[in-house]
Structure formats: C-alpha cells, structure tokens
Structure 1
Amino acid sequence: MIYVTRPSPEGEILTQLFNQANVPTQHLPFFNISQGHDLPNLQEQLNQLLPNDIVIVVSPQVTHVIKNYLSNLTLPVNIRYYAIGKKSAQLFSQFTTAKVNYPDKENSEGLLAKLQQEPVQHHTILILCGNSGRQLLAQTLTNRKAKVKSIACYCRKPIFYPPNILSSHIEKQIIIITSLEHLIQLELYSNFEHKMHANLVVISQRIFAKAKQLNWQKILLITSVNHQTIFDAVMLNYDITS
C-alpha cells in the first residue's frame, strides 16, 4: 500500500495518479490547510514592493488559500516571481502576467541554486509560505543581505489518526513525505519495525537527512515535488505488484 501524506487537494491528485494505474494507494493527509494569520495583510505587503523585489511561492497551497480567502488580490508586474516547483508556478501564474520562474530541481535547495545568479542584496523578498515557514530559504537569503519577510499565507493544523493506522503490512508500505513537518508527524504512527522495513519516499536532501537521523533505513530521495516525477520514480524503484 502506498500512503500519500500531502494535504488536499494536491494529495488527492497524486493518489488518483497511482489508483488510475491500479496501484493501491491511500490519501492519508497529516494536516488540514486553512487561512494563515498573515494572509489579510498580503496585499499591503505586495503594495510596498519596489521594482525587482522578489516574491517566492513555496507550494500550491499558497494559491489555493488565496483563491478561497483573497480572490481580489492584485500583484505588481515589475517584480520577480519564483516558485519551488512547476505546479506552484503554474497555479500562481493565474494571478499575474509576469513569468513565475521555478528550478529544475523542485525543492528549496534547487530554488536557492537558481537564485544564486540573481541580485538579492538590499532587495525585499516575500516568502509566501505556511505557518512554519521555509527556514532554509529565509536564512540563506538573509545571509545574502536580502530583506526577507516570511508571509504565513496558510496554516497547517494536524490531523490525528488512531496510533495503529499504519500497523498492517509494514514491509509492503511506501510512505510519501513531501515536507519536514510531515516527517515529524509520521513519528506518531511509526515504530522500530517501520523504520527498519517500510519504504520512505522524500523530496529533498533536508528531509532525507532528517529521516536518517530518525533512523529510517529504506529511503528513496527524489528531489522533486512534481506529481508525475514522484509517480515515475516510485513505479521504477519498487515492485508494486509483490
């Protein structure tokens, strides 16, 4: 059984991709997504940006909450837009005619590599993120003398399940983890046997390193949040029919 822990609606999309291929997959989101406490002030923050300042979109959830709670948002066109991945860029593009750039390696490290060639010193950078932020992005760009503001557009609220929800057929489990927060939440439902025998699929070097620290033994690193890339990697690396 494959377990997709990504929140709605993205989690359902990835789950459906596997199910359409007749691969048993369950959506097991670890968080509900709601409006973040900074979202009401987002328009004001955008209005203060100067030419060539930067807006970074960390996930599709940013666009989803804006559509639900701030549908009349107006974005400036003379600034630079970036997203962690292709899906985030495509969704956010509905709000602006400006190009929303994204890296080939669709994670924080990939975006930082792409921004390495961009002038950021003394520019304001708004990171549109969840309530726990993207600390690696903020810290690295701050070290490059950018004026970084993390804007909590959405809030993650944990969903709690029975402690034994993952206790069956552990050796055949494939658990897809797309953020550090999901990995930490997984600790509530996993044990020594999970960490020895279940298969963990992660999308960044940071999550991989943390999983190793938490003693997970069977980890597949994909370095992309793209649904099709995750699907292809899982189908290639695991004997789903066994």
Structure 2
Amino acid sequence: MAEQTLAGLRVLVTRPAHQAEGLIDALQKQGGEPIPFPLLEIEPIDESDRGAYNLIKARILDLDLYAGVIFISPNAARIGEQWIDQYWPQLPVGIDWLAIGAGTAATLESLGIHAYHVKNGFDSEALLADPLLENIAEKRFLILRGEGGRELLAETLRSRGADVDYADLYRRVCPRYSQAEIKSTIYAQRLSVILITSGMALDNLLELAGAESDLLETALIVPSRRIADLARARGFTRIRIADGPDDSSMIRALAAY
C-alpha cells in the first residue's frame, strides 16, 4: 500500500479530462482527495473549419521537406500522429523528431515515433538551449501545436536562420460550468491546493470563478516560474513551483506542503 503522504489534502485537478486519470489515481493512492475540474477542453481541428483543416493537410503532405518536426505537447503528439499515420504509412526518413518535455516524448514513443527531448527540461526554453538547435541556418522546421500557442520557439528558430511553419492541430477551449457547479466545487468546500499547468488554465479559472479573495488565497502549484509570475500578477499569493508539469513533479510538490 502506498504511503499516505497526501492524507487530508483536497486537491483541485484542472487538467483536461482525458489527461487527468493518472494524476487522479496517484493522488488517491497517496491519500489525497482529488477534485476534478478541467479548465481546458481539447478540440481537434476538423473539416468544419475547411481552411485550417486544409492547411494542416498541406503541411503533413510536405512532411519530408522538413529537417525537423517539433511536437509542443502530448495533445500535439496524439493528434499529430493521427494526421501523419493517415498520409504516411511509413515515416519519412531524415527528419529530426523533437518533443517538448518527457510527457510529449512518451506519448510519441507509445505511438511509434521516437522523438528527442531534453531530459531535464519541459518547455521551449529548454529545447532552444540544446546544441541540436544551434546550427540550423536554412533548415526548415514544422511545429505541431494548438492554436494560439507561444511564439518564442518559432521566433528564436527564425532568428537563427531557420524557416518555420506551423500546423495548428487543435483548439484549447474553456469548459462550460453552471454557477452552481463553480460554487459547489471551488467555494463551498475548502480546497487545500489547486494544480495549474498552463497560463490558459489559470486565466480560465479566473474567468469562471472570479478573482474572489477565497480563491486568490488558495495555494497553487504551477510547473514553471513563468506561470508563477502570471499567477502572482493576477493576485495569487501562495504559489509553489514544481519541477515540471508531469504527474510525478506535481505530486512531489504537493508532498512538500
């Protein structure tokens, strides 16, 4: 039986529902009380958005023209692999497959794509600091991501002389909750801590629940200094930075409370 290191902690789990199962299970095994409250839903781009759909298709059909393909997230890995499998029964050769973070790399590995990732890094900054992306002038890269993602990766690659294209594979949307659901989940029961793994999830939390003092005084665990700075700017006062956004890092940060 797992040690009950999280006994008594009531933890708001805000990952998208399809990505939260492992974290919820780990919390329960260590005695915590996970409270699922997804703050993002992932909507793959489909044929109802003809322009965006056709652009993705064109990028994937040109896959063998790229020196490197970068998957931004596990969702980009999952949806991107479906696109690639549809048009490339065999992966094109001569491409560097790159992943942001171990979770993205693990998702790709499970789908048959072996991708390089920085062992102790989980964000664009870590990949950009890797020697693999130093001498890239005149090389062409494809970034697979969700709509509206950060521009740092593409901007930095371009500043190093590379050509960069995007394929925006999905949208991140804010789930709909009734006021009764929000009140009963966030305000009617005393939360010990809220787990936030992206800036968009943080903004959605405030949009849904409002910047009430009870919420802003609740402890947050976030995966990076960047998101900690965002949370602080929005009024949160009790913020702990985990080693990364993966389940194990979030659990370790929780256990330190």
TM-score between both structures, scaled by the size of structure 1: 0.84
Stretch deviating more after TM superposition (218-227 or 36-45): 36-45
Give yes or no for contact 2:219–2:239 (8 Å, CA) kept in 1: yes
Asked if residue 46 in structure 1 is aligned to residue 66 in structure 2, the reply is no
Asked if residue 200 in structure 1 is aligned to residue 200 in structure 2, the reply is no
Shift of 1:114: 2.2
Give yes or no for contact 1:103–1:114 (8 Å, CA) kept in 2: no
Q: Which residue of 2 aligns with 1:167?
A: 187
- The unaligned stretches of length 5 or more in structure 2 are 1-9, 46-51
Which deviations, in whole Å up to 9, do the C-alpha atoms of 1:183-207 show, x marking residues without a partner? 1111121423145420111112221
Q: Secondary structure at the match of 2:15?
A: coil
Q: Which residue of 1 aligns with 2:201?
A: 182
Cα distance in 1 between the residues matched to 2:28 and 2:133: 41
Give yes or no for contact 2:81–2:111 (8 Å, CA) kept in 1: no
Stretch deviating more after TM superposition (142-151 or 121-130): 142-151
Q: 1:97 to 1:174 in 2, by over 3 A?
A: closer
Cα distance in 2 between the residues matched to 1:66 and 1:9: 16
| One-letter identity of the residue aligned with 2:121 | K
Cα distance in 2 between the residues matched to 1:48 and 1:84: 21
Q: Which residue of 1 aligns with 2:117?
A: 101
Counterparts of 1:65-84 in structure 2 under 5 Å?
A: 65-66=79-80, 71-74=85-88, 75-84=91-100
| One-letter identity of the residue aligned with 1:160 | R
Give yes or no for contact 1:202–1:220 (8 Å, CA) kept in 2: yes
Q: Secondary structure at the match of 1:166?
A: helix
The counterpart of 1:214, out of the listed 234, 237, 245, is 234
What is the number of equivalent residue pairs in this alignment? 233
Give yes or no for contact 2:80–2:144 (8 Å, CA) kept in 1: no
Looking at CA atoms only, which structure, 1 or 2, has the larger radius of gyration?
A: 2
The CA RMSD measured in Å over matched residues stands at: 2.4
Q: Which residue of 2 aligns with 1:2?
A: 11
Give yes or no for contact 1:85–1:107 (8 Å, CA) kept in 2: yes
Shift of 1:119: 1.9
Q: Secondary structure at the match of 1:25?
A: strand
Give yes or no for contact 1:93–1:100 (8 Å, CA) kept in 2: no
Q: 1:216 to 1:115 in 2, by over 3 A?
A: farther
Stretch deviating more after TM superposition (221-230 or 34-43): 34-43
Cα distance in 2 between the residues matched to 1:115 and 1:5: 34
Q: Secondary structure at the match of 1:62?
A: helix
Q: Which residue of 1 aligns with 2:3?
A: none
